[in-house]
């Protein structure tokens, strides 16, 4: 089978299932696992995040959505040349990847389009099972899902009798976005309490004043699309009167794949270090002092 994956999480899952060799095309954001790097790139973001501040990215995204413009360019000619049997994409988030609707004009005749749109941890697991069944490896998918749940349940059990620690997990920093979709479940499993989180619903902007009013003991900077170094760089001007840590949001928090279980382990360790061992994932302590607050926009 020849597969084009326009979704980084699907690319990860396909590789975890043992089908990295079947990938003939990926998106520019598909950089994990290492064996997918160098595959033909069939979609790319229309804006360059590295060249913009977090606020400039936010403004560019909002402007594109308001104008009905796509945030991604699709190389229809290349997709046609690659002759995929299966194209995997999503309809959950216009910011994250190409939608199935945008893909229609670029879809070669005979190619199947599979859209994965998980909003919860259970649905993330179901995505793995769906792909595994489609690729003819259902038992492998069941083993991966069992390990996924086992890891998360192990953290949940380790912190079961511990007091809940108040936390704010930021999916974006300027403006701050609260945790949405599966992230609130991850926080709960890790022994945390994030009163601003939106379980099963999209992340949305709040203000740093509101974040501080929720009295978090820990702020986790996990901006979508950035690793720990990128998150620390983006958070460099934040000065909080609370412990703040930058993590690899792109790899372990915002991407609905199996590595979310490792993100739960990291959150468990950050919140309850005496109960959950350090999984060894990237984490950068940020400087703490008084927060420099940007005036709220109307």
pLDDT tens by residue, 114-166: 989 999 999 999 999 999 999 999 999 999 999 999 999 999 999 999 999 99
In terms of pLDDT, which residue wins out, 281 or 74?
281
Q: Which residues contact 298 (CB under 8 A, 6 or more apart)?
A: none
Domains and CATH numbers, the chain: 3-117 (3.40.50.1980), 141-285 (3.40.50.1980)
Q: Is the pLDDT of residue 64 over 60?
A: no
Name the pairing type of β-strands 86-89 and 176-177. Answer: unpaired
- What pLDDT does residue 287 have? 81
Q: Strands of the chain (E only): list them.
A: 3-5, 23-27, 41-45, 72-74, 86-89, 112-115, 165-170, 172-173, 176-177, 180-181, 192-193, 198-199, 218-221, 243-247, 283-285
225: number of Cβ within 10 Å: 19
Q: Which residues contact 243 (CB under 8 A, 6 or more apart)?
A: 217, 218, 219, 285, 288
Q: Is the pLDDT of residue 68 over 60?
A: no
Q: Is the pLDDT of residue 67 over 80?
A: no
Q: How far apart are CA 64 and CA 46, in angstroms?
A: 10
In terms of pLDDT, which residue wins out, 62 or 3?
3
The position carrying tokens 């998918």 is: 141
Confidence of residue 275 (pLDDT cuts 50, 70, 90): very high
Confidence of residue 238 (pLDDT cuts 50, 70, 90): confident
Confidence of residue 221 (pLDDT cuts 50, 70, 90): very high
- What pLDDT does residue 289 have? 44
- What does the pLDDT average to over 11-19? 98
Does the pTM of the predicted model rise above 0.85?
yes
- What pLDDT does residue 59 have? 73
- What does the pLDDT average to over 98-104? 56
- What pLDDT does residue 298 have? 33
Nearest to 216 by CA among 270, 261, 149, 297: 270
Separation of CA 229 from chain center: 16
- What pLDDT does residue 270 have? 98
Confidence of residue 233 (pLDDT cuts 50, 70, 90): very high
Q: Is the pLDDT of residue 293 over 70?
A: no
- What pLDDT does residue 103 have? 59
- What pLDDT does residue 168 have? 98
* Paired tokens of 276: 């959950």
Q: Convert 75-88 to b/e letters by CB count within 10 Å (16 or more is b).
A: beebbeebebebbb
291: number of Cβ within 10 Å: 18
The angle that helices 121-134 and 8-16 make with each other, rounded to 10 degrees, is 60
Confidence of residue 92 (pLDDT cuts 50, 70, 90): low
């Amino acid at each position: 089978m020849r597969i084009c994956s326009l979704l980084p999480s699907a690319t990860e899952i396909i590789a975890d299932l043992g089908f990295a060799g079947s990938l003939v095309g990926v998106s520019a954001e598909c950089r994990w696992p290492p064996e997918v790097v160098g595959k033909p790139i069939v979609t790319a973001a229309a804006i360059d995040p590295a060249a913009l501040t977090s606020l400039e990215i936010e403004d560019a995204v909002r402007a594109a959505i308001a104008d009905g413009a796509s945030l991604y360019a699709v190389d229809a000619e290349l997709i046609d040349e690659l002759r995929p049997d299966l194209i995997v994409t999503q309809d959950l988030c216009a910011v994250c990847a190409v939608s199935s609707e945008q893909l229609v004009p670029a879809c070669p005749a005979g190619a199947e389009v599979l859209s994965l749109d998980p909003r919860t941890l259970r649905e993330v697991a179901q995505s793995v099972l769906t792909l595994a069944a489609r690729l003819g490896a259902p038992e492998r998918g069941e083993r991966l899902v069992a390990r996924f749940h086992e890891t998360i349940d192990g953290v949940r059990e380790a912190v079961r009798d511990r007091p809940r620690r108040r936390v704010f997990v930021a999916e974006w920093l300027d403006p701050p976005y609260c945790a949405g979709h599966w992230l609130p479940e991850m926080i709960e499993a890790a022994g945390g309490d994030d009163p601003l989180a939106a379980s099963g619903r999209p992340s949305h902007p709040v203000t740093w004043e509101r974040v501080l009013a929720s009295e978090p003991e820990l702020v986790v900077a996990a901006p979508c699309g950035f690793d720990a170094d990128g998150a620390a760089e983006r958070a460099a001007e934040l000065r909080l009167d609370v412990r703040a840590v930058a993590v690899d949001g792109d790899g372990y928090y915002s991407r609905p794949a199996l590595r979310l279980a490792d993100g739960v382990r990291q959150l468990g360790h950050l919140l309850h270090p005496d109960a959950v061992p350090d999984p060894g994932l990237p984490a950068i302590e940020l400087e703490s002092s008084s927060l420099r607050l940007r005036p709220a926009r109307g």
